Amino acid sequence: MTDCIFCRIIAGEIPSDKIYEDDEVVAFLDIAPVNPGHVLVIPKAHYPDLLVLPEQLTVQLVMVAQKIAPAIITGVGAAGFNLTLNNGVVAGQAVGHVHLHLIPRFKDDGRELWSGQPYPAGEAAVVAEKIRKQL
């Protein structure tokens, strides 16, 4: 028996409120929603994070999110949504089975996103070059 909670949901060992399923992908309600209708979209196969997810499954995951988003929005009366992926523990990934969060948003729901700050002068070019060199 796997100790991956999402694999156990897929196997039917742990209950979930499933809203979508196909051969490769499942979507179900997050048990602790940021807003009502918060859905997790996951591949049926176990991959720990986005960096090891095969390209085809990456595409399928996003396609399913795109397909079900209108139903979520209409279903819960949302005005928009955030599509997020926490990659790695430092980024807040608690479950090591890659998943997209599809979070419905409502006007004035108070779910503020973090705010950014401009780079100091000249720093953006340095950072961009550091990244380009790794590609």
Is 99 assigned a catalytic role?
A: yes
Binding status of residue 31 toward ligand AMP by CB under 6 A: yes
The CB density around residue 92, as the number of other CB atoms within 10 Å, is 9
C-alpha span between 94 and 78 (Å, rounded): 26
Among 18, 46, 67, 105, binds Zn ion (CB under 5 A): 46
Among 38, 97, 99, 101, binds Zn ion (CB under 5 A): 97
Binding status of residue 89 toward ligand AMP by CB under 6 A: no
Among 11, 79, 83, 95, binds ligand AMP (CB under 6 A): 95
- Sign of the alpha-carbon dihedral angle for 120, 123, 127, 128: positive
- State the minimum distance, in angstroms, from the CB of residue 91 to Zn ion: 18
The catalytically annotated residue of 38, 46, 97, 99 is 99
C-alpha span between 7 and 113 (Å, rounded): 30
Among 6, 38, 41, 43, binds Zn ion (CB under 5 A): 6
Residue 46 binds which entry of Zn ion, ligand AMP, none, with Cβ cut-offs from 5 to 8 Å by kind?
A: Zn ion
Structure tokens at 44: 């049926």
Distance of CA 33 to the CA centre of its chain: 13
Beta carbons of 114 and 21 less than 8 angstroms apart: no
Binding site for ligand AMP (CB under 6 A): 5, 14, 16, 30-32, 40, 86, 92-95
